[in-house]
Amino acid sequence: VLAALTEDRSMTSIAREHNLSVNTVQRVLESCSSKFYDDLDQLPEHLAFDEFKGVGKKLHFICLDGDSHQ
């Protein structure tokens, strides 16, 4: 489920593929939220932003640490 969440797909389609409820997929996503920055004091010194057109010509956004590229 976690690997599917990295793809450009809806939670509904992920839930259907794995025979789960959408709420369960949301809980899996929330369970890994500790890996993300919760406190502004923990923001990296250099932030990198990018916007690009993805699947279906929809605009996507990515933000990462400019030094570590993570």
Residue 60: half-sphere exposure toward Cβ, Cα within 13 Å: 10
CA gap 59, 51 in Å, rounded: 7
Please state the domain extents for the chain: 1-35, 37-70
Exposed / middle / buried, residue 34 (Cβ in 10 Å: 0-12, 13-18, 19+):
exposed
CA gap 28, 19 in Å, rounded: 14
State pTM to two decimals: 0.51
> Over the stretch 1-56, which tens digit does the pLDDT of each residue have?
888 888 888 999 999 999 999 999 999 888 876 666 566 677 788 889 988 888 88
